[in-house]
Structure 1
């Protein structure tokens, strides 16, 4: 027995000794150096992923992708801080530590296409700057302790523009903040307050005559005399002269000037037969106007009426709804970039030039650094310096540094490529083309600009309609281990009944009815009743448009549409546009209520409360119904026999029964439903919650945001319901 105890004690002691030995080995200088090198490589790799896939979040409404990018964005920042701390606290010597530290500071500048994860990050721009000051202080201390050598000086020259990356990111955060938006849009807001007066009696949207909407202002370096005059004029400003002047000179490119350009590239009979090039400038000018809503500025009613005439013209040209949506898509892309990327600062007057200089220094400096510095470094390595093993005559330290350099070069080249084909570059080139006669006379320059402007590798948005079906998802219960009162503090809760269906493609058939609805109502919004009046169905069905909340209206019609879909199906749904419009929009508005009620007219919590009540109603009324067919039959019986009109589910069943009882053919009812859902979607589009729409731009965008931008330009507002 004692021998067994001695064996057990010996085994325990041996295990403890081995654990102690492993712990000590992890604390050796070589182990700490290996840890630093691994972390530096991981950070470089994360930056490369963020650069390549950063802009994908606006092109894909994918929660897993958003979580992955958020994890990379957040983790890389903490890893940089942690790795710099390991370097500054290291008790060993290694001449490459300052090199890696400098690159960590470069990575702290983040990627150009992913400067922030959310709008809240923009308001913390001062915090970001102070973090940089603290980090650069630690790196400077590390450089001093390591000693300044000739190779290190040459490397520092290569990285002399490193602070510009961080400063540029800080500037982009500041501009995207609330105060920054007000600052940069002040001159446009003041200019647009009187712009409409310059074209009274001489307005032609087909030629853009009278549309002096600003596209680009080419700023020049002011002379000392100009600076003095500007300060003198500012000193004389007194109330009420609070307007920030913006004079239309030769340096200002307007929409009217773009359309008047006689260069072959922009002529309809020349290189712009489909107006896509000119529309790039149009989208950029409209983006400037839309940005006013995020700054607390507003346009006058005549200014909105002028823009509404422009929208009507876009629709009037054949399949103009496609062109109008193309303009809005590109406009929202500019808006996304101004909030979530560095492009707004890069493409300022001198920003892109600095970017080109950075690229040149990178292309020249990296080979020089590798070719000249590292041979000197290997031949002058101190004997007591800690280094990892060598392989093939090359030290691991050298290989790690080369790997980091190569990743950095790849990241910069990819960012420059994205910048070269971006829509911002296209605007700059087109405006320069409009202002420069020599470019208009150069065939080579016209072909080059045309090639760049027509290059589009990816679609600007996902172009899908998210879907939700109440009758398919009301019984869904999320796993309680994942969504409960404790996890509510860490993630967005998923409530009972919240389960998305497969998204539907945003087809042209779905886009067209919105403009038809706007034009038929002369820009006035109605809660679906106008479509019923046009189809002479108001007496039978208008009661379902006069419910207490829009959430109830949406779900009553959603249930009725689902009943009619199953009881009166179309033989070939793919060829019936009314069927696709009605079913897709019905499930899309139900999706907005279930997942993003902030984009709808009702108070968001009211919508959530009503939705939860509808789920409870559905589970009670349809208890025991396992299939869609059983649920539809149960609702049909309820619609025929129940007189209670206090429940949304019962109201939906009764409306569905009314649709089935109409004597006309099913095709007529699908036409009524398609026009109704199109009109209701336009009705819910106006919103004063601009922030909610901006937040969803980083989540793949929502189709209702495109409609919101459209009606915002036209100054169309929703009238309160008359009870």
Structure 2
């Protein structure tokens, strides 16, 4: 065992450098995968790698910086690994991160000044390490390649800091001087819907940037209404939003794309790559066959791995840059037809680009039910989780834990699931928003009294969602028609957003601050009796609802008409919640696979609806400072 630890200690710096490089390769190829899905394991792995990359590189630099005394005493590091000090610039390259992921969450962008301070500190430390190594060894042969590698490393590290600054919603992130914006192509240049969609999304980017920052829209949105209304159906419109959010906005916030769209960014990237190439050539000349005994074959091999592996990663990064919609649109506008066709081909590829059939987000909507929380309803596919919940509840009861709120986090973990967003849901949402734009109003013969009573009592958003959620469950239990599936999807999704979403309080301004307390309050008020069969509980819930609002609900008459009203009401509530949501919360959600409500919010931005449109200005002027004017619930539902 002592021999093993001795070997590890002797080769510690080599292991650290190789580990740092492996982490960078992993981040490059997985950094952008999180935009497509909500896989928790993958997200945790990326998070560990993102944090571990800096830790490993900084630790390795610190390890090298304190080797002066150690080498003086026993000559171990100098005798065995004389090339170790040459790896300090490579560690700066690793600290610069990869093009596919500069920040893990939106909060990382807000800390760009801290990264700038780290840049100064780590570059100073790396220079100190390299300077001392040259002095100790009096070896000036590595001075020239080391200088060029330092140039490449400092530029790469600086790129990450600037990308974090551009990704900060509270900084000036204008791309007006973008190299790719110098020529603005016309929509008529492109054949086919795919090309028009990419160009249109690109032209809208600056205005969506402003909306994420809470700044009113600019002038380029003026042609959206006519283009979207007269040209696109609901699936094409949702795909357009998909491109805007997943391909362009995600890149602007979480990658180095905005930096590499600037002339200065491209020039610096070229200087960095040329410096690395020159350093590689000089290093090859220095470590000729005659120098193998001096520097060690293993260390030379590791250095070549760092060089060649870094070049391969950069080649992949260049291909991904060429395969971006920005590059393709710029090449088309500049008349570079052959290069544009190559970029279009890469853009449509499954490996490097964004093919038309691949969604740029998870394409799922969360599902959570109150009946799942109290243990009365579990989908068939969650039969295993139902048994687990039953065991946990029994164990909790044995220890005297009888309050259901103690198990809320367990219920969220086991009972929350995701389902695919189908065309029926998107078609309903697009149709309803377009209905708004034409001043359309809806009548609620069955649910109207409930809404009026809820607003009269000044019921909060959580209460209304909970009531409608229970009403939906009761109605679906009593009737089995074709509308049941979509009603349940929308009902469970809104209940998921209000209670089970990990950022419910920030995504929904109308949601309760503490989901655990809110759902326990709902359980006590509306489901005071949670024992017995599902039918008993639903009947008790129906009685409690009618007692609360003092209205007899028509839950058994005209089931189709009632379900249609419930369906349309859930669509209206989702639109209302999207209009009242935080723009920065939607920006943060892009790093977690995206949410359906973000698409609704962006669609409302385009159509100038909700708090992001002129309607909010009119409402503010109408209400003034009068607190007696009720909230805009009825206004949103057009009662």
Q: Same fold (TM over 0.5)?
A: yes
In the alignment, the residues of structure 2 paired with residue 694 and residue 478 of structure 1 have an alpha-carbon distance, to the nearest angstrom, of 39
> Which residue of the partner structure matches residue 41 of structure 1?
18
> Which residue of the partner structure matches residue 402 of structure 1?
304
* Contact 2:510–2:580 under 8 Å retained in 1: no
Distance 1:312 1:585, change over 3 A: farther
Which residue among 292, 305, 309 is the counterpart of 2:210? 292
Give the C-alpha shift of residue 452 in structure 1: 3.4
Give the C-alpha shift of residue 362 in structure 1: 5.2
> Which residue of the partner structure matches residue 386 of structure 2?
none
Q: Deviation per CA, 1:423-461: give whole Å up to 9, x if none.
A: xxx223313422x3x53xx5x445324323433255311
SS at match of 1:184: coil
Matching of residue 467 in structure 1 with residue 367 in structure 2: yes
Q: Give 1 or 2: higher helix fraction.
A: 2
Distance 1:332 1:638, change over 3 A: closer
* Contact 2:65–2:129 under 8 Å retained in 1: yes
Gapped runs of 5+ residues in structure 1? Answer: 1-17, 188-215, 220-250, 267-271, 382-386, 388-394, 483-492, 571-575
Matching of residue 598 in structure 1 with residue 506 in structure 2: yes
Distance 1:632 1:366, change over 3 A: farther
Distance 1:128 1:446, change over 3 A: closer
Give the C-alpha shift of residue 38 in structure 1: 1.3
Distance 1:478 1:497, change over 3 A: farther
TM-score of the aligned structures, taking structure 2 as reference length: 0.79
> Which residue of the partner structure matches residue 419 of structure 2?
504
> Which residue of the partner structure matches residue 586 of structure 1?
491
Matching of residue 338 in structure 1 with residue 252 in structure 2: yes
> Which residue of the partner structure matches residue 429 of structure 1?
328
TM-score of the aligned structures, taking structure 1 as reference length: 0.70
Which residue among 539, 542, 546 is the counterpart of 1:636? 539
> Which residue of the partner structure matches residue 184 of structure 1?
174
> Which residue of the partner structure matches residue 192 of structure 2?
273
After TM superposition, the structure 1 = structure 2 runs for residues 544-555 of structure 1, keeping only pairs within 5 Å, are: 546=455, 548-555=459-466
In the alignment, the residues of structure 2 paired with residue 179 and residue 415 of structure 1 have an alpha-carbon distance, to the nearest angstrom, of 28
Distance 1:556 1:347, change over 3 A: same
SS at match of 1:605: coil
> Which residue of the partner structure matches residue 694 of structure 1?
587
Give the C-alpha shift of residue 370 in structure 1: 4.5
In the alignment, the residues of structure 1 paired with residue 469 and residue 64 of structure 2 have an alpha-carbon distance, to the nearest angstrom, of 61
Q: Deviation per CA, 1:89-118: give whole Å up to 9, x if none.
A: 122313211222221111010111111122
Q: Deviation per CA, 1:641-677: give whole Å up to 9, x if none.
A: 886317xxx99xx75xx32x21x3x444333322222
In the alignment, the residues of structure 2 paired with residue 478 and residue 85 of structure 1 have an alpha-carbon distance, to the nearest angstrom, of 50
Q: Mean alpha-carbon deviation: is it higher for 676-685 or for 149-158? A: 149-158
> Which residue of the partner structure matches residue 95 of structure 1?
82
In the alignment, the residues of structure 1 paired with residue 322 and residue 280 of structure 2 have an alpha-carbon distance, to the nearest angstrom, of 22
> Which residue of the partner structure matches residue 35 of structure 2?
58
Give the C-alpha shift of residue 69 in structure 1: 1.5
Which residue among 125, 128, 145 is the counterpart of 1:138? 125
After TM superposition, the structure 1 = structure 2 runs for residues 239-388 of structure 1, keeping only pairs within 5 Å, are: 252-254=182-184, 258-261=186-189, 266=190, 272-274=191-193, 276-299=194-217, 307=222, 310-311=224-225, 313-317=227-231, 320-333=233-246, 334-356=248-270, 358-359=272-273, 366=280, 369-370=283-284, 373-381=287-295
SS at match of 1:144: helix
In the alignment, the residues of structure 2 paired with residue 429 and residue 102 of structure 1 have an alpha-carbon distance, to the nearest angstrom, of 34
Which residue among 45, 50, 56 is the counterpart of 1:73? 50
Matching of residue 537 in structure 1 with residue 537 in structure 2: no
Give the C-alpha shift of residue 611 in structure 1: 2.4
Give the number of aligned pairs: 565
Q: Deviation per CA, 1:595-627: give whole Å up to 9, x if none.
A: 22422241541766432312445664212x3xx
Matching of residue 165 in structure 1 with residue 156 in structure 2: yes
In the alignment, the residues of structure 1 paired with residue 528 and residue 540 of structure 2 have an alpha-carbon distance, to the nearest angstrom, of 15
SS at match of 1:683: helix
In the alignment, the residues of structure 2 paired with residue 478 and residue 704 of structure 1 have an alpha-carbon distance, to the nearest angstrom, of 35
After TM superposition, the structure 1 = structure 2 runs for residues 3-14 of structure 1, keeping only pairs within 5 Å, are: none
* Contact 1:585–1:677 under 8 Å retained in 2: yes
C-alpha root-mean-square deviation of aligned residues, in Å? Answer: 3.5
> Which residue of the partner structure matches residue 448 of structure 1?
342
Matching of residue 413 in structure 1 with residue 318 in structure 2: no
Give the C-alpha shift of residue 361 in structure 1: 5.9
> Which residue of the partner structure matches residue 154 of structure 1?
145
In the alignment, the residues of structure 2 paired with residue 413 and residue 714 of structure 1 have an alpha-carbon distance, to the nearest angstrom, of 41
Which residue among 514, 518, 521 is the counterpart of 1:613? 521
SS at match of 1:698: helix
* Contact 1:593–1:608 under 8 Å retained in 2: no
Q: Mean alpha-carbon deviation: is it higher for 122-131 or for 595-604? A: 595-604
Give the C-alpha shift of residue 640 in structure 1: 5.1
* Contact 1:321–1:511 under 8 Å retained in 2: yes
Distance 1:154 1:375, change over 3 A: farther
* Contact 1:47–1:111 under 8 Å retained in 2: yes
Distance 1:637 1:37, change over 3 A: same
Gapped runs of 5+ residues in structure 2? Answer: 72-77, 376-388, 397-406, 612-618, 620-630, 635-639
Distance 1:273 1:404, change over 3 A: closer
SS at match of 2:419: strand
Give the C-alpha shift of residue 277 in structure 1: 1.1
Distance 1:678 1:178, change over 3 A: closer
SS at match of 2:99: coil
